[in-house]
Chains A and B, each alone.
Chain A
Amino acid sequence: MLDYELDKTFAALADPARRAMVERLVQGPATVSELARPLPMSLPAAMLHLKVLEESGLVTSRKAGRVRTCQIDPARLSLAERWVGERLRMWEASLDRLGAFLDATKPQDEP
């Protein structure tokens, strides 16, 4: 169970189209049509995905004339969040090894 903000981040990223958008935005800001173009979907569908990313706080956008430009909110993709993910994996791996150790040292009378 991650905290609420992190939960929203992970939920927003739990979609290949949104991950593709984020991967593109990590390289630098892009317009909505630039983000939508490589995706196998309509522009309105891409905009719905973008809305999820904006609501998660991962992505911010601003409109200049008729062009909306999006960028990553760097605070949301901090190394600190990477540490959280790695920590969770570290403990899962440790407990996997503990489970294997308990199996390997099972006494005779244990079912």
Chain B
Amino acid sequence: MTSTRSVTHASFTITRHWKAAPARVFQAFADQSQKDKWFGGVKGEWEPVSRSFDFRVGGRENVSGRWKKTGIVSHFDCIYQDIVENERIIYSYVMHLDDRKISVSQQCIEITPDGAGSKLVLTEYGDYLDGYDDNGGREHGTNMLMDHLAASIGE
């Protein structure tokens, strides 16, 4: 068992088209009671542990919750860097699983009108971290990668 410290730099983009106007989409990010309806773990599989929400430039947000199956607590901690009402949100965030830091990322949410509805583009740039004893996790990771790939190509 060797300790591995490495960083994978990656980015990804997700695009969605919705019938809702940009202002409604923006509010789903800006209003905590709305965001709590869709952000965080899956109900039944995940229970909240801590929560804070301060949606303004320089403000912070935390979502921590325990995954019932594994007992692992995931932590999302972000700081808002740029907010343009109904148009754009940029934040940086750190993810932990228990006390293990797994990534440091920046994410940009762009909302533009699309007919009567809106288009949302989420772009993430991240540093994804190893940096602890692997202990068989790599093999597990490989299998996960295969599963994800199979799912993504519809097999």
Which residues on A are within 8 Å of B, measured CB to CB? 1-3, 6, 10, 13-14, 16, 19, 22-23, 26, 72, 74-75, 77-89, 91-95, 97-103, 105-107, 110-111
Number of A-B contacts defined by CB within 8 Å:
131
Flag if B139 contacts A111 (CB, 8 Å).
Answer: no
Please determine whether A106 and B20 come into contact, CB atoms closer than 8 angstroms: yes
Question: Which residue of chain B lies nearest to A97 when distances are taken between CB atoms in the complex?
Answer: B38
Is the pair B11, A2 in contact by a Cβ cutoff of 8 Å?
yes
Q: Is the interface of A mostly helix, strand, loop or mixed?
A: helix
Taken together as a complex, chains A and B put the C-alpha atoms of A84 and B7 apart, in Å, by: 11
Across the interface, name the chain A residue whose C-beta is closest to B150: A19
Q: Do A91 and B130 touch across chains, with their CB atoms under 8 A apart?
A: no
Are A91 and B14 interface neighbours, CB within 8 A?
Answer: yes
- B residues 109-144 near A (Cβ < 8 Å) are 116, 120, 122, 124, 126, 128-130, 134, 137-139, 141-144
